[in-house]
């Protein structure tokens, strides 16, 4: 690839650009993370090396794409990094801020590139600041080559002797740096071929990294000390192998490298780090393939159709068997079908794992948010993360990020107290936010917990009344669990004044909506002065869900398993009619019950679910039906019970969007016998239940 972009078609260039943008933003994220780490432990040399590597990668990649602004500022930042490495500078908040300005400006540049914006990003301020740091500290620039020399102390005595003897025998000693062609895979073989070529001309004293080692595949360049009679031009020619080597640099070797030839020691040493450390961030692309998410979705769709087809086949085989009894052809068919099932299940799992990404992609941004906000709010906060490697569907990761960040901001802004206040309460000055993610069945659970002051429920009640959301007597009687739910109501904030943070972006109501859209559930637990915990449950993937299938009337329905809190058997006696609505006592609260079979016969738009529920309740308490199943569904702190006629059970459902305007049934799936199951959307379902059109029925009946 190199800088040879002129031969590419527009399309190729565009593809390159996209992959550059993706990689560069990944590197920026990693960089942010590493800066935070380094800020915390400035003595961690590995951390600094990583930062150097990321910045170097950014510099190289942007330069080869011709994005000079970015490569220039990266280059300037490398100077600072170099000084840190040489201990001419020490890490402090000033430098931390400088690093983050770099990250921000780079991100801005990437955005502009992405959007094709012609606006130049002003990097002048950043460069001035970098210059200030450098001019303040750089008296001894001449010493900067010491490092290089140190590098050569790795030569064994024998190697040093080889070089010395060669010089005496008037042979030339060169240092050759060969950058690999980006597309070269099997670099070990490539290096082997170069080494063969060189061996014909002289003797390689040592290779860095060792071309026999595994790490060679990760290296983007190799470095040789070479003794030869041949002249530079011939060496260069022999080092240039199509598809293997890119840029070749040949310089006379000397133990004390004269200035000029090695004026950029940093790349060389970072190359060494790579070889030693093994993993190089910039080489992820060698083993991974970037695929348009739409393509994966398409495959997922097809797999879904195959699965449906196969389950229909099973059904037919069963029917055939019933009709024809034992028959060889049928048992063959059964076996084939069984094989199908196995490969299909495997295929489905594989395709699903392609879509799975660690939640870390979202969590990466958190340390930065905490850093910035704790400075802004003058609070001290530390972050503890667990289970960042937990994987979930990319589609969900893309959507859940912002809501999580909002909760995090909320926790710092409203949860964690000021250090002095914490001290007075006998707490540590530093507040802790703990994020824990883990799988539970087919769900992922994300918990965000702070050890702050907790949510003041009394205040919430008051606010709720003031805002006209609830009446005073309701507020007084409302159980705590329910009152907490008020935080998800738009326009309610427990902070005494609306702060910059809580006023920005989305509110808690939007958080609830986003979680609901993902067919998930959000819950809050709070204890005064101990802290608040948000628990978010999400399905692992959106394309295939675990659903609870049931029959109501003659129709099949399903709710996502993740939104069902409990499935209960109820006796007729347990159901009482309150306000004309069938209700059930459940965990110390009264919940309204709904029968789908009745409701879907009518136009819920005009009537509202609950009014319908009231109208039909009386007829439905038929004497012969004295027990039934109830699914308790929930969204945030709202609960609703669904009375079902027949419980079919848990099924994996391949969801097909049905785009015909229904808000409560956003998707459907096909069962093995070909029947259609309507998959109900809990959040809109509950919204429908409480819709104002229900008129006489006030929201409060929906406990």
Partner 1 sequence: MEQETINIITKKDSSPYRFLLVDDSEFARKNIARIVSMIGGVVAGEASTGKEAIEKYQEIKPDVVLMDISMPEMEGVDAVGRIIQEDKKATIIMVSSLGHKDLVKKAISSGAKHFITKPVQVEYAVKIVRSVLEENEEKNKQ
Partner 2 sequence: MNKNLQAVGFKIGKELFAVDISSVKEIVRVPEIVKVPDTPDFMEGVINLRGKIVSIIDLKKRFRLGKADRTKTSRILVAEMNEKVVGLLVDAASEVLKLPSDSIEPPPDMVSGIGINYITGVGKIGERIIILLDIRKVLNNGEWQQIAAKDLDKMAS
Shortest distance, position 288 Cβ to partner 2, whole Å: 31
Question: How does DSSP assign 370-434, residue by residue?
Answer: HHHHHHHHT--EEEEEE-TT-EEEHHHHHHHHHHHHHHHHHIIIIISPPHHHHHHTT--SSEEEE
Question: How does DSSP assign 145-156, residue by residue?
Answer: GHHHHHHHTTS-
Alpha-carbon span 2 to 66, nearest angstrom: 10
Q: Is 289 helix (H, G, I), strand (E, B) or coil?
A: coil
Whether 539 and 562 have beta carbons less than 8 Å apart is answered as yes
By the rule CB under 8 A, 186 interacts with partner 1: yes
% helix, strand, coil for the chain, step of 5: 50, 20, 25
Alpha-carbon span 473 to 469, nearest angstrom: 12
Shortest distance, position 603 Cβ to partner 2, whole Å: 8
Phi, psi of 133 (to 5 degrees): -60, -40
Shortest distance, position 356 Cβ to partner 1, whole Å: 23
Q: Single out the residue of 4, 7, 169, 588 in contact with partner 1 (rule: CB under 8 A).
A: 7
Residue with smaller CB distance to partner 1, 192 or 340: 192
Cα angle value 693/603/622 (rounded, 5°): 100
What token pair was written down for 543?
């394309």
By the rule CB under 8 A, 90 interacts with partner 1: no
183 binds, among partner 2, partner 1, none (CB under 5 to 8 A by kind): partner 1
Alpha-carbon span 550 to 209, nearest angstrom: 63
Residue 261 burial (10 A CB sphere; 0-12, 13-18, 19+):
middle
What token pair was written down for 681?
């959307």
193 binds, among partner 1, partner 2, none (CB under 5 to 8 A by kind): partner 1
Shortest distance, position 634 Cβ to partner 2, whole Å: 18
Shortest distance, position 492 Cβ to partner 2, whole Å: 13
Phi/psi class of residue 87: alpha, beta or left (left: φ > 0; alpha: ψ in -120 to 50)?
left
Alpha-carbon span 489 to 473, nearest angstrom: 19
Secondary structure element (H or E) that encloses residue 161, with its range: helix 157-168
426 binds, among partner 2, partner 1, none (CB under 5 to 8 A by kind): none
By the rule CB under 8 A, 199 interacts with partner 1: no
Window of 112-120, 183-191, 473-481, 543-551 that interacts with partner 1 by CB under 8 A: 183-191
Residue with smaller CB distance to partner 2, 284 or 605: 605
576 binds, among partner 2, partner 1, none (CB under 5 to 8 A by kind): none
Q: Single out the residue of 185, 295, 585, 627 in contact with partner 1 (rule: CB under 8 A).
A: 185
687 binds, among partner 2, partner 1, none (CB under 5 to 8 A by kind): partner 2
By the rule CB under 8 A, 535 interacts with partner 1: no
Residue 326 burial (10 A CB sphere; 0-12, 13-18, 19+):
exposed
Whether 232 and 186 have beta carbons less than 8 Å apart is answered as no
Shortest distance, position 672 Cβ to partner 2, whole Å: 12
| Per-residue contact string for residues 236-265; x = within reach of partner 1 by CB under 8 A | -----xxx----------------------
What token pair was written down for 27?
């590197």
Query: How many residues form the binding site for partner 1 (CB under 8 A)?
Result: 14
Shortest distance, position 484 Cβ to partner 1, whole Å: 55
Place of tokens 């009946």: 701
Residue with smaller CB distance to partner 1, 44 or 286: 286
Alpha-carbon span 187 to 198, nearest angstrom: 16
By the rule CB under 8 A, 63 interacts with partner 1: no
Alpha-carbon span 475 to 467, nearest angstrom: 12
What residues line the site for partner 2 (CB under 8 A)? 305, 308-309, 312, 490, 509, 513, 555, 596, 599-600, 603-605, 656, 658-665, 668-670, 674-676, 678, 684, 687-688, 691-692
8 binds, among partner 2, partner 1, none (CB under 5 to 8 A by kind): partner 1
Shortest distance, position 66 Cβ to partner 1, whole Å: 18
Q: How many CB atoms lie within 10 A of CB 379?
A: 22
Residue with smaller CB distance to partner 2, 83 or 470: 470
288 binds, among partner 1, partner 2, none (CB under 5 to 8 A by kind): none
Cα angle value 364/370/374 (rounded, 5°): 165
Residue with smaller CB distance to partner 1, 189 or 375: 189
Residue with smaller CB distance to partner 2, 526 or 669: 669
Q: Single out the residue of 107, 188, 385, 647 in contact with partner 1 (rule: CB under 8 A).
A: 188
Shortest distance, position 668 Cβ to partner 2, whole Å: 5
Q: Is 222 helix (H, G, I), strand (E, B) or coil?
A: strand
Shortest distance, position 65 Cβ to partner 1, whole Å: 18
Shortest distance, position 516 Cβ to partner 2, whole Å: 10
By the rule CB under 8 A, 196 interacts with partner 1: yes
Peptide linkage before 209 cis (omega within 30 of 0): yes
Residue with smaller CB distance to partner 2, 578 or 648: 648
Q: Single out the residue of 15, 161, 193, 476 in contact with partner 1 (rule: CB under 8 A).
A: 193
660 binds, among partner 1, partner 2, none (CB under 5 to 8 A by kind): partner 2
Shortest distance, position 67 Cβ to partner 1, whole Å: 22
Q: What are the helix and strand counts (H, E) for the chain?
A: 25, 23
Peptide linkage before 259 cis (omega within 30 of 0): no
Residues that bind partner 1 (CB under 8 A): 7-9, 183, 185-186, 188-189, 192-193, 196, 241-243
């Amino acid at each position: 690839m190199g800088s040879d972009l002129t031969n590419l078609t527009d399309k190729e260039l565009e593809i390159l650009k996209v992959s550059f943008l993706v990689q560069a933003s990944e590197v920026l994220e990693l960089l942010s993370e590493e800066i935070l780490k380094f800020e915390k432990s400035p003595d961690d040399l590995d951390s600094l090396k990583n930062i150097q590597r990321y910045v170097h990668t950014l510099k190289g990649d942007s330069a080869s794409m011709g994005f000079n602004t970015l490569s220039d500022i990266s280059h300037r930042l490398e100077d600072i990094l170099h000084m840190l490495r040489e201990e001419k500078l020490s890490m402090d908040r000033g430098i931390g801020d400088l690093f983050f300005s770099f990250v921000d400006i780079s991100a801005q540049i990437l955005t502009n590139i992405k959007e094709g914006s012609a606006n130049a990003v002003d990097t002048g301020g950043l460069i001035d600041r970098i210059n200030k740091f450098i001019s303040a500290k750089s008296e001894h620039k001449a010493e900067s080559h010491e490092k290089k020399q140190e590098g050569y102390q790795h030569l064994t005595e024998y190697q040093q002797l080889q070089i010395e003897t060669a010089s005496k025998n008037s042979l030339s000693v060169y240092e050759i740096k060969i950058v690999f062609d980006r597309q070269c895979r099997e670099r070990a073989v490539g290096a082997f071929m170069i080494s063969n070529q060189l061996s014909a001309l002289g003797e390689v004293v040592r290779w860095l990294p060792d071309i026999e080692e595994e790490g060679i595949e990760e290296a983007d360049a190799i470095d040789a000390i070479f003794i030869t009679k041949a002249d530079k031009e011939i060496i260069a020619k022999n080092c240039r192998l199509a598809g293997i080597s890119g840029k070749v640099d040949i310089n006379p070797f000397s133990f004390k490298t004269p200035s000029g030839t090695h004026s950029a020691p940093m790349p060389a040493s970072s190359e060494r780090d790579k070889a030693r450390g093994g993993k190089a961030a910039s080489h992820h692309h060698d083993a991974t393939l970037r695929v348009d998410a739409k393509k994966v979705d398409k495959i997922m769709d097809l797999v879904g159709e195959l699965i449906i087809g196969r389950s229909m086949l099973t059904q037919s085989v069963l029917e055939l068997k019933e009709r024809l009894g034992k028959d060889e052809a049928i048992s063959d068919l059964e076996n084939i079908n069984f094989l199908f099932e196995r490969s299909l299940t495997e295929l489905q799992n594989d395709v699903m794992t392609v879509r799975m990404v660690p939640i870390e992609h979202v969590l990466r941004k958190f340390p930065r948010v905490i850093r910035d906000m704790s400075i802004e709010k003058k609070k001290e906060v530390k972050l503890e993360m667990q289970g960042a490697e937990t994987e979930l569907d990319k589609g969900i990761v893309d959507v859940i990020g912002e809501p999580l960040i909002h909760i995090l901001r909320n926790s710092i802004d409203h949860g964690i107290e000021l250090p002095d206040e914490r001290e007075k309460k006998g707490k540590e000055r530093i507040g802790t936010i703990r994020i824990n993610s883990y799988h539970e069945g087919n769900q992922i659970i994300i918990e965000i917990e702070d050890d702050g002051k907790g949510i003041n429920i009394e205040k919430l009640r008051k606010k709720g009344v003031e805002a006209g959301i609830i009446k005073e007597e309701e507020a007084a009687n409302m159980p705590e669990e329910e009152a907490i739910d008020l935080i998800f109501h738009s326009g309610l904030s427990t902070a005494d004044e609306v702060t910059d943070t809580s006023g920005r972006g989305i509110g808690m109501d939007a958080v609830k909506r986003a979680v609901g859209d993902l067919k998930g559930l959000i819950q809050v637990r709070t204890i005064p002065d101990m802290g608040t915990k948000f628990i978010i449950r999400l399905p692992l993937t959106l394309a295939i869900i675990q659903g609870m299938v049931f029959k109501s009337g003659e129709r099949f329905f399903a709710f996502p398993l993740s939104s069902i809190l409990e499935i209960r058997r109820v006796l007729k006696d347990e159901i009482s009619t309150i306000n004309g609505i069938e209700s059930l006592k459940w965990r110390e609260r009264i919940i309204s019950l709904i029968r789908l079979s009745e409701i879907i016969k009518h136009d819920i738009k005009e009537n509202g679910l609950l009014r319908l529920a009231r109208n039909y309740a009386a007829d439905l308490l038929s004497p012969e039906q004295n027990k039934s199943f109830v699914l308790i569904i929930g969204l945030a702190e709202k609960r609703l019970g669904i009375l079902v006629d027949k419980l079919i059970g848990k099924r994996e459902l391949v969801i097909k969007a049905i785009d015909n305007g229904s808000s409560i049934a956003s998707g459907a799936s096909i069962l093995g016998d070909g029947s259609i199951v309507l998959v109900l959307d809990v959040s809109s379902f509950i919204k429908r239940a409480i819709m104002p059109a229900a008129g006489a029925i006030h929201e409060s009946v929906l406990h």
